[in-house]
């Protein structure tokens, strides 16, 4: 089976005043369907930059990313191919938990009975079936991140990119969220790239990688 | 519903705070539309009322000359044959002195042919007391304020002196005697100047008073509904030019003039005032648009990370722009609709509102004297309505477009990293 994602020789530069900082110095990565990989690294090592390149939110200065063999992931396809989970949840405060999950389907191409049914299933899966009508302000941090995980999975993506999803959560809640995220990815054969500082969470992935001095190495 | 429409609507009234700010924007647009609608409609009303009044009292077209028209019957035959002309009626008019008791007034006396005038001007609808049918060669109909000024009513006998009688002044064998006429009607047009200084007699009485013989001062002409008054006027003038010297005795300065031409200065002034008022009051809508724009710019700055999220979820830049631009459009639509409702309700109750205000401030009489009308006229033309609605919607859309462009230009990665 072909890889969900392949990245070859990714390089990325940032300009800071007169200096040019090379954040990524030739990153290679391949992810098979259903495979999970954790990426650790120091703050500022370029983990988020790498995820943005893998999500086609940014372009590399050199190298290329292919998604199931295709080099072009337009905005619309990105919404269906990639699900993203962020440290700060990024829920839309004007929408209830249910509407936040459904938003992924709305942006991904529209909603119908099937997407409404899937929202209910995801609410059930993340343990928030009774709280679907609650707004983000009425949910705890852990509950918000569960909603964000459900939203990421809404369009049945081939790949989940999670950028320090437990960074704003306490340890126990963080553990629960990681268990949930990995469990759901495994049952749906969704590839997962998890950026984390937490060694225990990183160890739960099938592969653990370290991003150091712009290069990705096995841990 | 596309997600950007759904979210735009949600963001407008999601919280009380947002609802409050949206409400202020909507009300500011509504205020501008309201003012524009009321002011332009009232100005349009003045213009229309003057036109209506002129047509009701002097016909659509007046034919006059520099001298007395000696043979009105021939002129009528020529004019009535012009396509578009429905009817014509001769008239004669001039200043007279009316004396009732010891109270003199100096009105314009209008001599009409009671049999023909109704085909041209609906005088009967202005009669408040008495009847136009009672008008004969020994009677007179007075305008309402004039009658009140001299204290005359139905059945009162008034003395009428005409300037023509002055030609008999000093002849030893002739005494200047006034013409005694009985008041058989009181009319009220609703125009202060006309209601203060006009009286109506039969054409024969007027011809006697002014020594006109069988001559008249002109013809009032009624044209068929829907006909272009200026086109018919031009046709009459061409016909008169051809007929003079052939079927018509030449009369110096014989000329037809439409009601629009005879009120051209007034109509031009109203048009200019309307244009200036539109320009000034549009400033209110512009301010409302700036208010909406600043509100939406703050929203874009506040929602920067969400804009990054939308990109991550697969939104295009155009969709992100639409999400914010539509908020300006919705504010414009609701504000305009609300402004139109306020405006039409205000216009419906305009006279009650004016009376209420004047009751406290006084000056009801001054109002009538200055504006000539006892009731505030209003007419909303399709073009005025289109100008108001299109201006409000375009300005509101522009107010949404600028924040929308800011949102669309945001780099998703920088937006997601925004603290």
Contact A196, A202 (CB under 8 A): yes
Give the rounded percent of residues in chain B with a pLDDT score beyond 70: 95
Query: From the CB of residue A20, how many other CB atoms can be counted at a distance below 10 Å?
Result: 9
**Residue B293: which H helix or E strand, with range?**
helix B264-302
Angle at alpha carbon of residue A90, lines to A115 and A50, rounded to 5° = 100
Name which of A43, A33, A42, A65 is nearest A52 in CA terms. A65
**B169 confidence band (pLDDT: 50, 70, 90):** low
Contact B226, B129 (CB under 8 A): no
Rounded Cα gap, residues A59 and A10, in angstroms: 9
Q: CA of B10: which chain A residue's CA is closest? A: A94
Q: Is the pLDDT of residue A1 over 60?
A: no
**A70 confidence band (pLDDT: 50, 70, 90):** confident
Structure tokens that stand for B405 in this block: 């462009």
Q: Is A157 within 8 Å of chain B by CB?
A: no
DSSP letters spanning B356-391: HHHHHH--HHHHHHHHSBSS------HHHHHHHHHH
Q: Is A98 within 8 Å of chain B by CB?
A: no
- Chain B residues with beta carbon closer than 8 angstroms to that of A157: none
**CB within 8 Å of B8: residues ≥ 6 apart:** B322, B323, B324, B326, B327, B330
Q: Mean of the pLDDT values across residues B240-259?
A: 87
* Tens-place pLDDT, residues B377-409: 889 999 999 999 999 999 999 999 999 999 998
**CB within 8 Å of B207: residues ≥ 6 apart:** B92, B111, B213, B214, B215, B216
DSSP letters spanning B209-252: HTT-TT-EEEEEEEE-TTS-HHHHHHHHHHHHHHHBTTTB---T
Distance from the Cα of residue A118 to its chain's centroid? 19
Q: CA of B305: which chain A residue's CA is closest? A: A90
Please tell me the distance in Å from B349's CA to the nearest CA on chain A. Answer: 41
Contact B26, B338 (CB under 8 A): yes
Q: How many residues does chain B have?
A: 419
Q: Mean of the pLDDT values across residues B51-73?
A: 86
* Tens-place pLDDT, residues A160-179: 999 988 887 788 888 888 88
Q: Mean of the pLDDT values across residues A147-156?
A: 89
Q: Mean of the pLDDT values across residues A87-104?
A: 90
Q: CA of B320: which chain A residue's CA is closest? A: A107
Structure tokens that stand for B244 in this block: 């003079």
More confident of the two residues B7 and B369: B7
- Chain B residues with beta carbon closer than 8 angstroms to that of A88: 305
Model ipTM value: 0.88
**B175 confidence band (pLDDT: 50, 70, 90):** low
pTM: 0.74
* CA dihedral sign, ordered A124, A129, A133, A138: negative
Q: What is the pLDDT of residue B345?
A: 96
Rounded Cα gap, residues B320 and B401, in angstroms: 11
Query: From the CB of residue B193, how many other CB atoms can be counted at a distance below 10 Å?
Result: 12
Q: What is the pLDDT of residue B366?
A: 66
* Tens-place pLDDT, residues B13-35: 878 888 898 999 999 999 999 99
Long-range (24+ apart) CB contacts under 8 A made by B270-279 are B270/B43, B270/B46, B270/B47, B271/B47, B273/B43, B274/B40, B274/B43, B274/B44, B274/B384, B277/B39, B277/B40, B277/B43, B278/B36, B278/B40, B278/B387
Contact B107, B95 (CB under 8 A): yes
Which residues 22-51 of A are in CB contact (within 8 Å) with B?
48
Name which of B153, B141, B140, B163 is nearest B101 in CA terms. B153
HSE of A5, CA atoms in CB hemisphere, 13 A: 30
Q: Is B255 within 8 Å of chain A by CB?
A: no
Contact yes or no for B10 and A48 at CB 8 A? no
Q: Mean of the pLDDT values across residues B49-72?
A: 85
Which residues 54-73 of A are in CB contact (within 8 Å) with B?
55, 57-58
Q: What is the pLDDT of residue B391?
A: 93
- Among A48, A77, A79, the residue with its CB nearest the CB of B313 is A79
Distance from the Cα of residue B399 to its chain's centroid? 34
Contact yes or no for A79 and B306 at CB 8 A? no
Q: Is the pLDDT of residue B125 over 90?
A: no
For the ranges A31-40, A59-68, B338-347, B356-365, the lowest mean pLDDT is seen at: B356-365
């Amino acid at each position: 089976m072909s890889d969900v994602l392949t990245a070859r020789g990714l390089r990325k530069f940032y300009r800071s005043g007169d200096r040019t900082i090379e954040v990524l110095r030739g990153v290679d990565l391949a992810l098979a369907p259903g495979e999970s990989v954790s990426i650790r690294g120091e703050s500022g090592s370029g983990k988020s930059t790498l995820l943005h390149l893998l999500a086609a939110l940014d372009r590399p200065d050199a190298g290329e990313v292919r998604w199931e063999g295709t080099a072009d992931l337009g905005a619309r396809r990105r919404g269906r191919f990639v699900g993203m989970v962020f440290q700060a949840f990024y829920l839309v405060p004007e929408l209830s938990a249910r509407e936040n999950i459904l938003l992924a389907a709305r942006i991904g191409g529209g909603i119908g009975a099937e997407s409404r049914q899937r929202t209910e299933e995801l609410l059930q899966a993340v343990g928030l079936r009774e709280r679907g009508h609650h707004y983000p302000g009425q949910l705890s941090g852990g509950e918000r991140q569960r909603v964000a995980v459900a939203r990421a999975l809404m369009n049945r993506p081939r790949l989940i990119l999670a950028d320090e999803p437990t960074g704003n959560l306490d340890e126990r809640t963080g553990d629960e969220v990681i268990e949930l995220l990995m469990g759901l990815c495994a049952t749906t054969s969704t590839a997962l790239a998890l950026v984390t500082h937490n060694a225990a969470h990183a160890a739960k992935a099938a592969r653990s990688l370290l991003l150091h001095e712009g290069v990705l190495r096995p841990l | 519903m596309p997600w950007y429409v759904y979210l735009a609507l949600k963001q407008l009234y999601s919280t009380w705070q947002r609802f409050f700010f949206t409400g202020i924007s909507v009300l500011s647009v509504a205020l501008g539309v309201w003012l524009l609608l009321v002011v332009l409609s009232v100005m349009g009303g003045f213009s229309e009322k003057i036109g209506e009044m002129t047509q009701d009292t002097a016909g659509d077209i007046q034919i006059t000359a520099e001298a007395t028209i000696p043979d009105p019957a021939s002129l009528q035959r020529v004019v009535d044959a012009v396509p578009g002309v429905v009817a014509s009626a001769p008239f004669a008019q001039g200043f007279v002195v009316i004396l009732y008791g010891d109270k003199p007034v100096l009105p314009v006396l209008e001599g009409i042919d009671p049999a023909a005038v109704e085909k041209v001007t609906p005088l009967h609808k202005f009669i408040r007391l008495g009847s136009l049918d009672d008008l004969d060669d020994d009677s007179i109909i007075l305008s309402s304020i004039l009658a009140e000024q001299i204290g005359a009513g139905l059945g009162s006998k008034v003395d009428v002196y005409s300037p023509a009688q002055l030609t008999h002044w000093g002849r030893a064998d002739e005494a200047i005697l006034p013409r005694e006429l009985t008041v058989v009607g009181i009319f009220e047009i609703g125009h202060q100047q006309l209601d203060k200084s006009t009286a109506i007699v039969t054409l024969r009485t007027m011809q006697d008073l002014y020594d006109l013989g069988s001559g008249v001062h002109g013809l009032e002409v009624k044209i068929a509904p829907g006909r272009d008054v200026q086109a018919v006027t031009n046709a009459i003038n061409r016909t008169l030019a051809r007929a003079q010297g052939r079927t018509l005795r030449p009369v110096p300065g014989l000329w037809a003039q439409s009601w629009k031409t005879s009120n051209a200065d007034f109509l031009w002034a109203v048009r200019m005032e309307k244009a200036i008022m539109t320009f000034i009051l549009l400033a209110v809508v512009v301010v409302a648009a700036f208010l909406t724009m600043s509100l939406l710019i703050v929203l874009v700055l506040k929602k920067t990370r969400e804009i990054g999220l939308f990109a991550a979820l697969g939104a295009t830049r155009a969709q992100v722009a639409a999400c914010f631009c539509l908020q300006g459009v919705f504010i414009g639509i609701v504000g305009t609709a609300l402004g139109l409702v306020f405006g039409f309700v205000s216009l419906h109750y305009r006279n009650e509102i004016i009376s209420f205000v004047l009751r406290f401030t006084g000056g009801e009489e001054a109002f009538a004297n200055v504006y000539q009308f006892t009731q505030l006229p209003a007419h909303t033309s399709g073009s005025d309505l289109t100008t108001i609605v299109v201006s409000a919607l375009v300005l509101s859309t522009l107010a949404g477009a600028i924040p929308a462009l800011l949102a669309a230009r945001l780099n998703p990665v920088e937006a997601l990293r925004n603290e």
